[in-house]
Chain A
């Protein structure tokens, strides 16, 4: 099925986010309309590899960025996305230097030179270079202005799944993904809900709202996921008290740490999606404060945090300041063993 590039969202009550934003189509979805020869492509690939190898571990030492080995893996992924038949190209690395047969690619050779230069020299995130990120079993479109979904966040969908299994009411109810970014959580959750389950995804950024809408369309979920532009709970006022679940990966990095981030993150990703104020918890506290009135009794919440310290603080905050409002409030660790999430239920 061919997808229309931008389609207005019919149910969007706050604003139509897609109108003024220029969407970038992921490389792998573009038609392979450019032609080059195997030997020219080989030349590009060799050039890209040698540029990559020259990085060594300098980025790693500088700001904990990628080393050349990680970059080489990304280069393979770029080849996968850019070439119509990547396997035959990658699997015969030394055979075809003089091969003048034609190969179809999804961007011009000049663009490929430019893209990899941007990746290495400007530290442009790989996901912006190819315009997508693989997240769970999804491939989500991303572009500048939208936070690239992180592997840690994949776990929130599993946490939601666990909660749904315990309580079927949650499967058919209304969910919200606050600060949806690319729409990752909203889409991941919509795909595990029952036929009457719905997700409202909000984001303050018009770019994020537009990209999220595009991703929702790509997965044929327009009926299930409604994207609304606006700050946190504001676009949800009409449904106050009706939600069976809230999830969010809000900005949680303390402002003072933004300057020290690896260049891919600090220089290229939207500060709006990263900077959580002095303590990093401005938005998380706002979410904890608002969750009670948004949720139905028995409703579930899962929020991602900066890790151990913030999670401990927030669990304590909910247990003392919101005494009796919530039950089973706990921290959940990510795959690396960091207490990355807080979850709980609104009391009945």
Chain B
């Protein structure tokens, strides 16, 4: 089994001010951040026993928080890559149960005795994926169980966005899960791929991860990646822009490489 390597690509110097403001909230026991929609993230900070919504930040900054946590946990090499012996693809192929086993689960540290004493409908769930330090949380659902499911699917998306698999461009052939998210007009997409899988399909994360692996390998060049996928540059751009998470991740990487973001 080839050892896979993944990179932390989010510790960009220009964002350090933001990181130093936002990071402490994650180390407070009661803090919760909620990606309420793809476009904004609300940060809940705790003040004593009380949980208050203080401010909203764009989702890009949320990535930076995760990125800073991520790099805080591991000493990175010069190029920002770290070696955990397991690649992001393996994480995404795990069943929910296997993935949960790798996570620390916590909820609001309820003040007081909880249980029958309490009726507050605080069902927030926070999952910390131990091998990568990535944290996913959910609070918007009305039951703990559903928040756990939301947090887990959010964790899958974050793993896809943040954990890179190394690929060799010379011998590269796109994996099946990547072909499945490509539009039908791709010339390398066989008829056995079925209809195109969109962002709402749970399988999308795996394809998104493979697409980002390729984009990182070609240093963010959409036209180079498009060639490997049998697509026009325009068609690949449209795919990259079709999902907010994907768009943010690609643009953040492109900006770090001095390329202008896709619009």
Contact = CB atoms under 8 A, between A and B. Distances in A.
A and B: interacting chains: yes
Nearest to A65: B120
Contact of B116 (A66, A74, A274): A274
Interface residues of B, number: 32
A70 B120 contact: yes
A251 interface: yes
A70 B122 contact: yes
Contacts of A257: 117
A332 to B, nearest CB: 13
A5 interface: no
Contact of A69 (B49, B53, B141, B143): B53
B145 A136 contact: yes
Interface in A147-164: 147-148, 150-154
Nearest to A251: B116
B80 to A, nearest CB: 34
Interface stretch (B7-15, B17-25, B103-111): B103-111
A147 B118 CA distance: 12
Contacts of A306: 113, 115-116
Contacts of A65: 120
A125 to B, nearest CB: 5
A73 B121 contact: yes
A148 B115 contact: no
A64 interface: yes
Contacts of B121: 70, 73-74, 126
A64 B105 contact: no
Interface string B136-165: 000001111110010000000000000000
Interface in A67-98: 67, 69-70, 73-74, 77
Interface in A247-284: 249, 251-253, 257, 261-262, 264-265, 269, 273-274
Given A126-B121, A335-B106, A335-B107, A134 B143 contact: yes
B186 interface: no
Contacts of A147: 116
Contact of B145 (A70, A135, A262, A336): A135
Contact of A66 (B52, B108, B120, B143): B120
B145 A154 contact: yes
Contact of B110 (A66, A74, A336): A336
A262 B119 CA distance: 8
A154 B117 contact: no
Contact of B143 (A151, A269, A274, A334): A151
Interface in B67-124: 105-123
A154 B113 CA distance: 17
Given A64-B111, A335-B105, A335-B106, A137 B119 contact: no
B125 interface: yes
A338 interface: yes
A50 B150 CA distance: 31
A285 to B, nearest CB: 17
Interface string B34-67: 0000000000000001111100000000000000
Contact of A336 (B50, B108, B146): B108
A203 interface: no
Contacts of A64: 49, 111-112, 118
B115 A304 contact: yes
A139 to B, nearest CB: 8
B115 A307 contact: yes
Interface in B234-257: none
B145 A307 contact: no
B119 A69 contact: no
Contacts of B120: 65-66, 70
Interface in A121-172: 125-127, 133-138, 147-148, 150-154
A63 to B, nearest CB: 10
B113 A338 contact: yes
A307 B119 contact: no
B125 A307 contact: no
A253 B116 contact: yes
B144 A154 contact: yes
A269 B115 CA distance: 13
Nearest to A150: B115
Interface string A53-68: 0000100100011110
Nearest to B122: A70
B116 A265 contact: yes
B142 A77 contact: yes
A276 to B, nearest CB: 9
17 contacts: A57-B50, A66-B120, A69-B52, A74-B121, A77-B142, A133-B142, A137-B145, A138-B143, A150-B119, A151-B107, A151-B122, A252-B116, A306-B115, A334-B114, A334-B115, A335-B106, A336-B109
**A-B residue pairs, 9 tightest by C-beta:** A134-B142, A335-B107, A136-B145, A134-B143, A151-B144, A264-B119, A336-B110, A151-B123, A154-B144
Given A151-B143, A153-B115, 7 more contacts: A60-B50, A64-B118, A73-B121, A77-B142, A126-B121, A261-B117, A337-B109
